[in-house]
Amino acid sequence: MKNRRFIQILGSAVLIASMGITGCSTTGEKETEKETTKETTEKETTEDEEDLCCCEFDEDEFDEDYYYSSGDFEITSSNGELPGQMDYMAACPDSESLDWEAYPELEDSFITDLSVIEDDDVRAIAQSYADQGYNIVDPVLEFEYGNLGGDWEYQFLDGFHAYLDGNDLCAEVEAFKMNEDLFNYFLVEYWGLDDPDYYDVTDDGTVIRYGDDEFYAEFNRETGIGVQFYSYDPNEAVG
């Protein structure tokens, strides 16, 4: 499977977006069909919703053809030509040449030794999330498989992903060393956070942030690190 890591990120964003609109993923057709027998099928509907909403994203149920060809998730190559791009990024390996059978499940890719993160500022941020109970994914493994953030063709050289799977909060964080042009392209425009009708922008001169407390991207001009964060309450998702 090409770029499993990107599929996980995109699946998380799609899942959160759907919950923000409906509270859970259900189709209009099913709701219409069940309208006349609501009382007798209430239990069945509840079980269906619980199956669809959870902290983990089911790759087997992800329709790549649909999401990769639809609207906001259309992928456009940067061609390695963004300002300073090749100072912070590298070309992804040929996905077809990789042994995806050897790629571990997410929970088996977590690490406790953060010394593998070479950049001091990135490692400090990773440690701060680890101290909060987040699991840090092995960035060396992700880089080997072309999954360390970016797009289909280029990935960041320094960064990490972190997950929090809690009773009251499920969250995912990604942080990478970059410049502001790359931040605007990969973390803001790429995810539609530059739409003023939906997302606020704050800028104190050092940190610029797009989004809200549940879904945002921010860039620290002093450290040169871009962060993207998205979360949801699993209790509300299945309620």
Q: Give the tens place of pLDDT for each residue, 143-165.
A: 999 999 998 899 999 999 999 99
Residue range 27-49: mean pLDDT, rounded: 45
The total domain count for the chain is: 1
* Residue, of 13 and 135, whose pLDDT is higher: 135
Please tell me the distance from the alpha carbon of residue 225 to that of residue 239, in angstroms, as a whole number.
36
Q: Do residues 24 and 238 lie in contact, with contact meaning Cβ atoms separated by under 8 Å?
A: yes
- Burial classification of residue 161, based on how many CB atoms lie within 10 Å of its CB (0-12 exposed, 13-18 middle, 19 or more buried): buried
**CA 115 from centre of chain:** 23
Show Cβ contacts of residue 164 under 8 Å, excluding neighbours closer than 6 positions: 129, 132, 133, 134, 135, 170, 171, 172, 173, 231
For residue 118, what are the β-bridge partners? none
Range of the domain at 205: 4-238
Measured CA to CA, the distance from residue 165 to residue 107 in angstroms comes to 11
Question: Which residues share a beta bridge with 155?
Answer: 90, 150
How much is the pLDDT for 59?
Answer: 53
Q: pTM of the prediction?
A: 0.69
Residue 167, pLDDT above cutoff 70: yes
Name which residue leads in pLDDT, 31 or 148: 148
**Residue 17: pLDDT over 90:** no
Q: Is 221 helix (H, G, I), strand (E, B) or coil?
A: coil
